[in-house]
Structure 1
Amino acid sequence: MDGLNIEYKDKVTNKLYREVIAFANGSGGTLKIGMSDEQSIIGLENPLADENALYEQLSKMVEPTPLIEVSQEHFDGQVILEVKVKATEHVYRKRGTLFEEIYIRYGSKKRLLKTPEEVHRFIRMRHVDETENAQTNTTFRAEDFTEFVDFVQSQANVKPSFATIGENLEGVLASYNAIRWNNGEFVLTQLGTWLANSSQTRAVLLQYSGDRSTSFCQQASDFSGSIVTQFSRIMAIMMTVQPLYPNDLIQQCVVNAFTHRDYSLQGDLSIVIFATRVEVSSPGTLVEGLSIESVKKGARIVRRNPLLHALFVDLGLTDGHGDGIRRVLDSYNDGDDKPKISIQKDSVIVKLPRFEKVEKITNETKVLRKEMTHEEAIKLHLLEHKQAKNIDFQQILGVSPSRVTQIVREMVTKKLLVATGERKGRMYTLSVTNQEE
């Protein structure tokens, strides 16, 4: 792994500043001048003159002035220059320009940022929240990122840079600053710990039969491991248990919960599915300077974890435009119920109502149903909706799950209803006789 942060040059060329820019914009590195790519000693005829030429080149070509240490090393009468380049929070570039010749280190190679989008993203990444970018004492091990690699390779719309992740895991993780070179080895940053199999973050998903947490809990799932694995498992469940929520809106809310949560706080990210709504809760409050109104309008883009957000964008999980909440709100323009954003002391909760209510009835119909028997209310519901589950009957009758089970069992025995399917997915329809009434 040493070779990723060492570059060998046989002499001081007029383009050597580009290597220095790439190291300074990354995690630092070392230039060994007077050696071939095969690491054989060539030596320098006048190392002092070469050292002066290097300093002069960097002062003319690089802005801001990079932090370097130059020393001479002697090998059997040959002299080489060892140039140690220190990385800082600055954006290093060609002197006299704003965005020209910005090079970064990608694996063992340097890369020129060519598009405005690449430059903009890199500049954002240089000014990251230290809770995300902070270096840990955990040594990088490829085997602790198998979940991350599997997830990336399962995605269809990832950036081309992920194509070789199986052979270049270090390069991919380093490009997002998930790992950092330190004293001869890669160590994890906080972002790296979130992506690793051993991540200490947690997420939970609960599903209730009714509209309160006192209702019967139909499902309780606890997710651990890499946060991309947690995200994948949550979305797999959401696609099956609640078809009345558009997948792209649910995904946007779950992505936001992962990328904007405050990972320094104790507590789990949670998704709670009620009969008529979904609540997505993320630890942490709004980033300082934001308000609910500014979030709704999408007027300002402020990301708590910009590196993580950039990774999710490049994985094709979100578009990165910063207007996700506004689009979610706009999707409900034609509905009676609107999404709600609740800011608590230590969490942000987004509540999404179902697009199609379990029961769309007027106040007059509600009064009428109060005068109906349970059997009459179920028959009316099935005349309108053709089929229903036990949970639907719980909503219209307002009684306990056990009582509903008793009622529908009696109606099946009376041949008023027809039951099809296994218990958890059992559907009820009216018998042919009752459909004709």
Structure 2
Amino acid sequence: MPEQHNIEYKQSWHDDYLKWVAGFANAQGGTIFIGVDDSGNVVHVPDFKNLMDLIPHKIKDLLGILVEVNLHERDGKHYIEIITPPYSIAISLRGRYYYRSGSTKMELTGHSLTEFLLKKSGKTWDDVLEPAATLEDIDGESVRTFLKDAQRAGRLPDVSGLSVPELLEKLRLSENGRLKRAAILLFGRDPGRFYPNIQVKMGRFGQDDADLRFQETAEGNLIRLLGEVSGQLNQKFLSKAIEFEGLQRVEKGEYPVAAIREMLLNALVHRSYLGSMVQIRVYDDRFSIWNEGTLPEGLSLEALRRQHPSRPRNPVIADVCFKGGYIDSWGRGTLKIMEACREAALPEPEMKEQDGGFLIILSKNQLTEEHLRRMGLSDRQLTAVSFAKEHGFIDNSHYQEINSIGKTTATEELRQLVGKGILVQTGKGRGSKYLLAK
């Protein structure tokens, strides 16, 4: 059996493998086999009697946990099985924390360690009390804006007559009169006084990152950012203004408002507030938003393209935004972005984890070389698309001629272009022509 996310093979014992034990204990548990090679073949452990006494004691003394250590024999060869259960508390080795992710053991440091320790304590970053904050740090106008939006959405129980402190308690944004971090991020007068890098940075570029034309930064609480960022985009960054109130409206020739709004909300609600600011880049042919924080454990990029469970990084903030009508609670955000792009006849958005964060890209024109390369087109296929742009069509003969290839290869590569939605085929047999998709 090959190594898996919860199985590790080692041919002999080394104390360094205590890191693997700690990693399993901090994740979903797992098993280490000592005396087994990477292919799962038993190679024998000559000092197995000594190790059967040494390993459990070392694990107990240095990690403070109990594991199951078993001795096995196959064809006269001995190997040891170390079964580590998952632990609800954080397990450290000499003050360092390790975690098993997939088939890799990693040391947790910085922001990752902070989030891990909070999770093990039953908390998330936004649910922690902010000792330096008082009610004076809450912006009343932002609260009133939220209440109006929540009333329109119909998701908030009756709060008429409640004072601001009572409302914050009801929204689980405070505890015994003390404010949580989520309260400052949602409604704070100056959240930047408490937490750095909560701004949204916007840049207008030409065709690439080397051509920066101008930039702006928006800052404030989440409620204010929603309005300020949309205003900045309209006034300075987008060639055609959009109305951010009407989610059903689709702007032809620009980007769909529903997609941009959902991208912005996802970035603000689900980002890691321990890292860098949200970054929006507007190019001649595409629009992107990047936020700090990779996908939650158990959620893949493939899952974002289908119905998937909601796993918010900041559940307190997400709950308040749901009650305000800003987001759903069903993990539909990426699906709504994809649907808006289809309705606007734009290419499917590109989503990926990059530089410790999550990046989503809308492309205005699917026929730009950069976008076509991102779709996986070969140099020959790019040449064919350029030919079709210039002449209005391409056929099999021209494809063979401009690329110096045979008919079979040309037919297959044209079929791929049709399958990707870049070309459409008209006619049959020798009379077939391939036109650019509308």
The TM-score normalised by the length of structure 2 is 0.48
The TM-score normalised by the length of structure 1 is 0.48
Computing the radius of gyration over CA atoms, which structure comes out larger, 1 or 2? 1
